Every structure is written in structure tokens, then in C-alpha cells.
Structure 1
Amino acid sequence: MTVTPVRTDFTTPHPLTGTQRVSGGFALMDALHRHGVQHIFGYPGGAILPIYDELHQAESRGWLQHILVRHEQGAAHAADGYARATGRVGVCFATSGPGATNLVTGIATAQMDSVPLLVITGQVSRSAIGTDAFQETDIFGITLPIVKHSWVVRDPRDMGRIVAQAFYIAAQGRPGPVLIDVPKDVGQELFPYTPVPPGSLVPRGFTPPPTAPDGVIHQALEMIRGSRRPLLYVGGGAISAGAEGLLAVLAKRFRIPVTTTLMGKGAFDENDELSVGMLGMHGTAYANFAVTECDLLIACGARFDDRVTGKLDTFAPRAQVIHFEIDPAEIAKNRRPELAVVGNLKHSLGRLLDCCQPNEPPLSTAATWLQCIADWKQRYPLMTPPASGDIYPQEVLIAVRDLAPDSFVTTDVGQHQMWAAQYLRNGPRQWISSSGLGTMGFGVPAAMGVLTALPDQQVICVAGDASILMNIQELGTLAQYGLPAKVIIINNQWQGMVRQWQESFYQERYSASNMNNGMPDFVALAAAFGIKGLCIHAREDLHSGLQAALEHQGPVLVDVRVRRDENCYPMVPPGKSNAQMVGLPSHPELAVASSRDCRKCGFTTAVDHLFCPACGAKL
């Protein structure tokens, strides 16, 4: 569909009446178009029908395109995927009552992961609000804890102003979801419309992000120069800020290793020698060892959440902390930093690099520190699947990495998500996963959103056999719009992560986690939606089957039957420090004490390795 450019004219005759008196629904569509909205994900219903009537007119004029989902939760996740892939505000519609409440999980997902979302809901007429009218819910009140801001439009004359404020708040500072609730009669009422130009107002009470003082920037630089074992700890804020390029310059100038969170994947090239991959509960061993031994932790757009830190008082126990963060509320929320650099991350890093000398040398201890990390990488690599027997889930992700290295990847939540995070290497905005809320059923609708925004890109959804059933109906949306997502199910016939925890911590009492009984024939189910389906049982068919799926022009669902009882390792058990991982490969011939003094410099190591992190001497 060809979409017209954003309009800059400010005379808006109604397409049906030809007058300046327009409906609230028309004012909404006009305002969305002025803010550059090209796609809306939604599902109609009674209270939002006036808006959908105007949406019909907007589509016929080429203003935008509506994507009809099969469930409102799918609309929120699709708008979320759209926003993560592009950095633009994603937009979704739903009607009042159950339509609005079906969006709640998607709104909370966006809030936890700081995704800019504009959610528009229908509401019963103004006179019926508070009477328990048919399909009435207080979605404004329900969503107060999970949005940046929200409005109930009481007067259609406020529509342009509210939409302009909504876009500003959703995208500025730390991004997040906002909600506009529109009573049915507000959508119908005619009034003389005066458009509000995008960006022409700053909402009252909204505080722009602060700018760190020069002295703080200089202090951060001196702390980096004075460190011996620094580590960059990078979260999703780096991607939101578009700071990937500056992070790479900083890391390479001083030769600082980089670890990322689940949200931060793609912020630094994971093929680079400085990358140590993801840290945390299912992070790489070498990332978790590095954070345990570092003496300076440079947190960039990260929030020290529990899946990263493990036992909080043992996280980075030797390190001073510099925290670069746009949201002052995150400073010292979990870990108190020695230095807080509050402000836009891209701006702050740019100023820090500007303060460097033209030929700033790497840190004098960089080679020693990187050699120690290289030793951990060699001794504790991610698991390499054996060459015989059942298909291992890890080798499915390795095959995806080899066959589609530049693809956008969405995931559901569970073991397959962690394996994907461990083995795939993605560019900025190419990793799209529900990280903070851990929302099962996120992957397929998120893939719809990515493909709607970027139809020429290859998009792969990595799903689990349990989680995909949460929003399996969206295969219908893929079919209707011909969105060529490749959905790869890592099928172990379990709620895999639940089973792993039950095995590890609940004495193998597998309560309500076996999905074998009642599992659908996924290939037949795909065919029922008009989508190509494949099932791969044998490892000799894995590469050829995945290649055939990737080469198919339309959407494909691939059911890969994998080893049933494989666990996701390494794993930091609850209540343990990041250095106390289980599931590491065993190397008895290399085993040394996990706590040992270096005979050369006296440094006491906290983790198991061969070389002293402080001086490089062999232990």
C-alpha cells in the first residue's frame, strides 16, 4: 500500500461533509496521520465503531493501513514489535470492555521494556460512564500502573492536543506506552477542528531528561582511565538512545570488554572479540565471571534487574559503578553507583568521547584483562551439541544463526528464548523479545509488527510449543496479509523452563507442565490457516528443512522436534551469585580452587580460572 507523506496543511475539510466541522473520530485519524502513523493494529467493536468508520475513510485516502489482528493482545504485541524494530511509536486500537482489557498484557510488556506505544481504546458514551453499561470497564484506572500517561477524552476539541501530547510523552525521555480512551459519543460529535502541529507543544508537567554536568563527565572518564579491569554492562537503553556506534568507539578505544542484557542484545557486535555475550541467570559463564572480577562496571542504559544480578549483594562485588541512565528513578534503585551520569545516553557518551585525547591509548592492563576473559571463553564455551542422536535445541539456533545471520528475530518466552539469546548474534533493533515481563505468546504478533514496518526484511520467530499456543490465532493475520514470517517452534512437548525448574528445585514433581497430551498437529494447524507447515524430526533434515522454510515466499510454520529433557545452561540458581553457576562444562584436568591468591601479586580470585585477572600470572 502506498502511504502519502505526513501532511503539513492545516485546513481539514471532512471528506464526506466538505465542511470544517468534523467528528472526533476524524480528528483522531487526522492527528495520527500528521504524526506520521502509517500502520495501526487493531480489532473493532461497538464503542470504537465511530473511529473505525473514520479509519475506513482514512485508508481510502491512502493515509495509513489498518492490520486486523485476531485478538487484541496480538494488536498490542504487533505494535510493540513495530516500535522496537523502527524506534517509532507503535499504535493499536481496541474497543471498550473486554477489547480494552485484552490489551493489558501487551501494555505491561511495553512498559517493562520501555517501548513507545500509543494505545487507543473505545469507551461507552460519556453519559453512561460509571453506570456499568454494556462492555464498560475503567481502562484508564486499570492501566494507571503500567503507562507513562493516559487520558479520557471528554471533549472532542481536545483530540488534537491530546494526540500531540501522547506522541511526545511516549517517545521522549525513557520511552513507554500511553493510552487514550475515547467515549463513543466523542468519536461521533461534530465540532470545528483546529489541528495541532506535531511537536508544537510540551505537555504541562513533563520534565525533559536532565543533562549531566561537565564535572561528572570528566569524573567518569578519569574513573575509566584509572581502572584495571573495566566492563561495559549494556542494557536496552543503549538501543533506545541509538548509542550503539558510540559504545563501540568507547569499547575499542580503551579495549573494554562488553556484556549485554537480554534487552541490550544488538547494542554491541557479538562477533567482536570484546564481546562476552549476555550476562545473568542464563548468561555466558565468561560474562558472569567478568562481572564478578571487574573493578569498574560501566552500566549503560541498564537497570540492575534481578535476572541480571542474581544475589544482589554479591553482584560485581569488587567494582565501582558508573551508571549512565536517562531515568533518575533507576539510579540507586537496586545498586547504588559511585557515579551517576543522568541524561540521554547518546549525548552523554558523545561528550565523554569528546573529552578524550585525540590519540587516547588503551588501558595499560587491557591485554591482561582480555587474556583472562579469553581463558574463560576457552574453558567454558556454550554447549556444542553432539553429532548424533536427537536434535538438540541449541543446534536449531546455531542453524538459524548460520542460515539467516542478518534476520530480525522475535521470540516467545522460555528455554527457547534463552537459547536464542545465547546463540544468535543480532544487530541493533534486530532482537525483539519480551524481557522484563516475560510474556508468552509475544513472538508471532511481534513478528507481524516487524514485517508490517519492514516488509523487505527477513523475520524469524523462535517459539516454544507451549508459548505459541498463547496467540496461535495470529497465524490468520499472517495469512490474510501475506506477512512472510518464518515461525520456528522448538518443540520439546513441555513448558520447558517450568519443567527445568521443577527438575532442579522441586524434586522432579512435574506439576501441569507436560504439554504432550492435547498438543495439536502444528503442520495441519498451519494448513488450516492457509500457511505452509513443515515438521523436522531427524537432524539430517534440519538444515535442508530450515533452508526450504527460509526460501519460501510466504509465511511458514516449522515444527522442530527436539530432545525432550534438555536443560538451558549455564544457570545461576535463585539466591546465588553470578559466579555460582550450574551446568558448566567439566574440565577436571584444568580445575583449580574457586578462591585462590595469586602468588605474584597477591590478588584473591573469586572464580575458577587459570590466569590472575589482576596481573596475568598463571595460577
Structure 2
Amino acid sequence: MLGNGDLILRYLEHLGVEYVFGVPGGSIEPFYDALARSERRGGIRAITARHETGAAFMAEGYARETGKIGVCCSTAGPGATNLLTGVASAYADGIPMLVITAQTALDRFGQGSFQDTSCTGIHTVEMFAKCTRYNTLISHPAQLETKLLQAVSHAMGNQPGPAHLGIPLDVMRHRIPDNEIDATLNAFTNHEVAPSDHSTKSALNELESARKVTLVLGEGASEASELLVRLAEARDWLMVTTPRGKGLIDSFHPLYRGVFGFAGHESASDALREDSADLVVAIGTALDEVSTSGWDPTTILSERLIHISNNPVDLSRSTMARLVVLGSPKLLFESISNALGVDSVSQSNRSVFYNDRLPANTRFDDPEKCFDRSGPIKGQTLMTYMSRICPQNTRVLMDAGNSFLWGIHYWNIHRPMNMHPGANHFHIGLGFAAMGWAIGTSVGMASANPDHPVVCFTGDGSYLMAGQELTTALQENLNILMVVLNDSSLGMVSHGQKLSGGEQLATRLPRVDFSMIARALGVESYRIETMEQFADLDIKGILSRPGPCLLDVIVDGDQVPPLGSRIKVLTSSIQTHE
């Protein structure tokens, strides 16, 4: 006889899941018993985070790297509430995740059980209601199988995101015969929707007659990205990406003009204005603050917009557009390419020339500082240098704060010729922008694919929040390079206060030697104060061997990151309410 935890794991195995990320505890123990049985037979294995928020971030990293559903779990009470920030982050970025939290036994609901999170206690199912695509309490063992499949179907649908199952102790412990676990039922996970014939013809008519077109690739354009590049080359269309779409186009492609939106490039804004684009075609983007440069009406948000997405929620924001198309961008542009006589199968035919300088067609805020090795290490220099020396298969994550500002603007993408068209090696958690997001997510990503190096850029403030997850990477012997931007400050907040005219308050941090902390944990580490010291490091060697390494990089806190669009939104809100 096995338990319901075994049933859950057998279904997840059918989906190709390899790990469950979590922290054990009393009420979730039957599920960990099932994980122990699974590991003994070579099945799904538990990876233990140091905090449940980190477990949720790890599940997100696993999902980002594999395209499978990420799975995290927690015990009742604070275990469940600790998961919330990580689950909300996955919800904001549309990451498919199965979230399993424990409840006390059903017959103890309302009796003041230890860590009671039932509907009569601290009601965690209600807490998850607004940051999940599916959310339910399993109130009877007979519900488990059906609700599990419904959860997976919602998580991996056209509006992907986390699905939550609250499972009481006695329901998880419920015994079932081994022969009942045959996984004959299947979750509905194939959601590719073909655009209507009318929408396809309308889009073709618009694009055929337009003289100047600029494509905007968001994260939802990933599967169509290679096709879109070929189409742009054939028609001489310009291309930009949103911050979340960064990485889908090689930074050195001659038709690429950079990132538009949060921490973006002026050259991308120019490519979207009326004198450069008769039509702006936005693909797979939510048209939120960060992807529209604070809802700028002179660029994306105009009557020149054609908006294409698999996600109907994205399209609900494009009320000003001349055309919206619901459906798979890949299917739509395959039809359009064929109609325009563009080969939708062959490789890109426009050569990409790399050099030791910056991409020629992208306008950077401070290009001269990208190669300035004098004095303290500058964020501009660090990102330019690291993006040039890291192997092309490196997965790169930028944490909330100055890290993702510097990374969005100054990290240059090199896409190898054999890279899968839908793959993206550049990652930011920009939807919810949780500090410490990149730390846990890098652990999940490295777990999913230990053969490729992972580089995580984080700030000292974020590392003080979540740096303990590095010990999970140590325990799992994962190839992660943790780069801590150390300026003894909550840097993004501090610069934001200065630029918006706010009070200078509560942003100073103590001087911490993170390399010493890492060594105390048993992790290889280095403290870097100059670019000369950086150049002496064998970064490629570090990234070629298993196990984590930490770089404590003392950065120039006086350098102002590209915060312009964010400050514009903050100050306009202040002016509106005065």
C-alpha cells in the first residue's frame, strides 16, 4: 500500500519532473515519505531549500530552464506563508508551477491545531487565491487525482502560472493500492491556439502594405523568435525586445536596436516612433509599465500597434491598437512568412559580426564607462566585461535592484548558431521584482541542467535577505557563480530617492565581506575591488567545474543605473496626486 503522495509523484514523473523543492515539516511529512520512496527507486528527488520562498524561486528556475512544471512544497503554518512571495513572483511572470502546502488533519480543523492554516485558522488557501491560476483545498481523498490534473492543466495553460493544492495531513496519508497508480488520466497541457483566418488575413494585409515596421519581441515570442528574425531580415524590419524578451535576439544583429522599456535604450525608443515605424508589431508582451516605458504613448501604445499574444490577458490592455490577434505567434508568422514568400525553415541569412566593443546599432547611456577600468568597479564595465568572457551557454540571472538595471542595459547577448530557437539564457524576475529572486532561481536552474554554468548577479541587500540558499547549491554541487554587487547600500532605492527628490533615508547597509561568509560556508570565494583583479581571475575555469563560487565585487555606488522610465512613473504619480 502506498500513499497519496506517491500518486502525486507518479503523475509528476509522467510530466518529466525530476525534483521537488521545499522544506520538510510535520504536516507535510507523508509527502516526504513518498519522496524518500521515490528517490530509492530512482524517481523524483527532494531538494531542500533554506527558506520556503527560496524553494518557490528554485521551482521557478527549474521551470524556466526545462519548460516543465516546477514543483515546490511546504508544511502548514509559516511554511505555507513563507512560500507566498515566491509564488506571487511566478504568477507575475507567468511561470508554470505546482505548489503543495500541508494542512492539519481534517478532523482537527477549528480546534487550534499546531500551525493551523485551515479555513478556521490562518486561512492559507485564501491567501493563495490572488496569486495562483488554480487554488483549492483537497477535502477528501477521492478529490486528489482529479484536482491534481486540473491544477497541472491550469498551470501550463495559455495563462500559465502557479496552481496551489492545500492537502490535509490525513488526505496525504491516505493509503491506496499500488495498482491504482497507473496515470491513465492526462492533464491538458497542449494549449497552442491557431489564430483565426480573419486575424491572419488582417495582419498580412497590414504588414504587406507597410513601408516601415518595427517588431517588439516579448517573452511570449520565444518559440517564434528565429522565424521573426528571418522575416525581419527578408523585409528589412527593425527589431527591439522588451526587458523580459531580452536574450531572444543577438545584441549584435544589425537590425536590432536594443531593449525598449525599463532600463532600455534610446535607440529602441527611436525605432518605435512614428518616423521610424508605420506599424509597431508587439509579440508576446503584456504591455505593462516595464515593457512600455511607463505607458509611453509615442512608441508602442498608439493606433500604429498590432498586438499578438497567446495570452488573452495581454491583449486586454491594447485597446488603442489597430489590430489584436489571439493565438500562437509561431503559427501566425509561419502563415505570414509563406504568404510573403519568406523561407520559414532555413537559418538566418544576415551575418552577425562580433567585436570587443559595443553593438553598433544600440545607443547606450554611458558607452565610455563600459570600458573604464579606473577606480572602483563600475556596473557598466562589469556587465560589458562579463557578457564578453562568459561562455555562450551560460545561464545569466539578474536580481532585483541595480543588478537588473545594469544587466538589462549593458549585458550583451551572444546567441550561438546551434541554440534552440525558443531558448533564452538571460533571465530577470521583473513581474514582481522580489529581492533575492535570482539567488533561489539560479539554484533551480542549475539543478535542472548541471552541465551548463549559471551566473547570478545580485546586490548586497538581496544577498543579505536570501544568500543562505548558496548552501543548497553547495550541498547539490551545482555550477553557480554568485556575483554580489557590494556597495553597502540598497542601491536602486538610494538612487531612486535622489532622482525623484525624496528623502535620503534607510538605504545604508553595513560593510560586509561576503567572501569571508562564503568561505565559512565552505564555498570558494574571492573579493574583487578593481577590474585588474577581475581580469586576473580565471572566470572560464570557475565556470567549467562543478560547485558554487562567490565573487564579492566592490562596486562604485556613485554610478547611476538607467532608472529613467521608472522615475518618470514615480514622479508623475506624485504630481498627479498633489
* TM-score, with length taken from structure 2: 0.87
Q: 1:567 aligns with which of 546, 560, 565?
A: 560
Partner of 1:246: 227
- Report whether the alignment pairs 1:95 with 2:105: no
**Cα pair distance change 1:105/1:311, threshold 3 Å:** closer
Q: 1:556 aligns with which of 549, 552, 559?
A: 549
Q: 1:70 aligns with which of 41, 44, 50?
A: 50
Contact 1:113 1:263 in 2 (8 A): no
State the distance in 2 between where 1:198 and 1:423 align. 49
Q: 1:108 aligns with which of 78, 82, 88?
A: 88
State the distance in 1 between where 2:561 and 2:11 align. 47
State the distance in 1 between where 2:167 and 2:379 align. 46
- Report whether the alignment pairs 1:456 with 2:451: yes
Aligned-partner residue type, residue 80 of structure 1: E
Quote the offset at 1:377 in angstroms: 4.1
Contact 1:295 1:319 in 2 (8 A): no
Any idea what SS the aligned residue of 2:253 has? coil
State the distance in 2 between where 1:174 and 1:573 align. 26
Quote the offset at 1:37 in angstroms: 1.6
Quote the offset at 1:467 in angstroms: 1.2
In structure 1, the gaps of 5 or more residues are 1-13, 15-21, 361-373, 578-619
State the distance in 2 between where 1:419 and 1:378 align. 14
- Report whether the alignment pairs 1:276 with 2:271: no
Contact 2:303 2:322 in 1 (8 A): no
Any idea what SS the aligned residue of 2:537 has? helix
- Counterparts of 1:425-436 in structure 2, within 5 Å, are 425-426=412-413, 427=415, 428-436=423-431
**Cα pair distance change 1:201/1:33, threshold 3 Å:** closer
Contact 1:408 1:459 in 2 (8 A): yes
- Counterparts of 1:503-514 in structure 2, within 5 Å, are 503-506=498-501, 509-514=503-508
State the distance in 1 between where 2:364 and 2:40 align. 61
**Cα pair distance change 1:541/1:281, threshold 3 Å:** same
Contact 1:160 1:196 in 2 (8 A): no
- Counterparts of 1:3-402 in structure 2, within 5 Å, are 14=1, 22-137=2-117, 138-192=123-177, 194-195=180-181, 197=183, 200=186, 202=188, 210-239=193-222, 242-293=223-274, 294-312=277-295, 314-316=297-299, 320-333=304-317, 335-357=319-341, 377=362, 382-385=367-370, 386-402=372-388
Instruction: State the Cα deviation string for residues 145-174 of structure 1 (Å, max 9, x = none).
Output: 111112221222332332222222211213
Partner of 1:3: none
Quote the offset at 1:115 in angstroms: 0.5
Q: Relative to structure 2, which stretch is displaced further, 150-159 or 72-81?
A: 150-159
Quote the offset at 1:336 in angstroms: 2.6
**Cα pair distance change 1:39/1:394, threshold 3 Å:** same
Partner of 2:531: 539
Contact 1:115 1:176 in 2 (8 A): yes
Contact 2:15 2:68 in 1 (8 A): no
State the distance in 2 between where 1:194 and 1:230 align. 57
State the distance in 1 between where 2:447 and 2:364 align. 43
Q: Relative to structure 2, which stretch is displaced further, 102-111 or 412-421?
A: 412-421
- Report whether the alignment pairs 1:438 with 2:426: no
Any idea what SS the aligned residue of 1:421 has? helix
Partner of 2:495: 500
Instruction: State the Cα deviation string for residues 295-331 of structure 1 (Å, max 9, x = none).
Output: 2110100011112323536242665111111122222
Partner of 2:406: 419
Quote the offset at 1:219 in angstroms: 1.5
Contact 2:254 2:361 in 1 (8 A): no
Quote the offset at 1:246 in angstroms: 1.8
Aligned-partner residue type, residue 206 of structure 2: M
Quote the offset at 1:414 in angstroms: 0.9
**Cα pair distance change 1:198/1:171, threshold 3 Å:** farther
Partner of 1:489: 484
Quote the offset at 1:196 in angstroms: 6.0
State the distance in 1 between where 2:366 and 2:232 align. 22
State the distance in 1 between where 2:68 and 2:232 align. 28
State the distance in 2 between where 1:82 and 1:267 align. 19
Instruction: State the Cα deviation string for residues 203-247 of structure 1 (Å, max 9, x = none).
Output: 9xxx966532212112212212222331111111123xx222222
Any idea what SS the aligned residue of 2:564 has? coil
**Cα pair distance change 1:311/1:38, threshold 3 Å:** closer
Aligned-partner residue type, residue 195 of structure 2: A
Any idea what SS the aligned residue of 1:271 has? coil
Q: Which has the larger radius of gyration?
A: 1
Q: Relative to structure 2, which stretch is displaced further, 400-409 or 307-316?
A: 307-316
Partner of 2:573: none
State the distance in 1 between where 2:184 and 2:246 align. 32
State the distance in 2 between where 1:536 and 1:380 align. 25
**Cα pair distance change 1:380/1:36, threshold 3 Å:** closer
State the distance in 2 between where 1:202 and 1:69 align. 30
State the distance in 2 between where 1:34 and 1:172 align. 17
In structure 2, the gaps of 5 or more residues are 118-122, 345-358, 416-422, 571-578
Aligned-partner residue type, residue 128 of structure 1: R
* TM-score, with length taken from structure 1: 0.82
Quote the offset at 1:387 in angstroms: 3.9
Contact 1:164 1:196 in 2 (8 A): no
Aligned-partner residue type, residue 539 of structure 1: M
Any idea what SS the aligned residue of 1:103 has? helix
Contact 1:278 1:284 in 2 (8 A): yes
State the distance in 1 between where 2:209 and 2:228 align. 19
Q: Relative to structure 2, which stretch is displaced further, 254-263 or 54-63?
A: 254-263
Quote the offset at 1:376 in angstroms: 7.1
Contact 2:280 2:306 in 1 (8 A): yes
**Cα pair distance change 1:292/1:129, threshold 3 Å:** farther
Partner of 2:464: 469
Instruction: State the Cα deviation string for residues 459-480 of structure 1 (Å, max 9, x = none).
Output: 1001111112221111211111
Contact 2:53 2:83 in 1 (8 A): yes
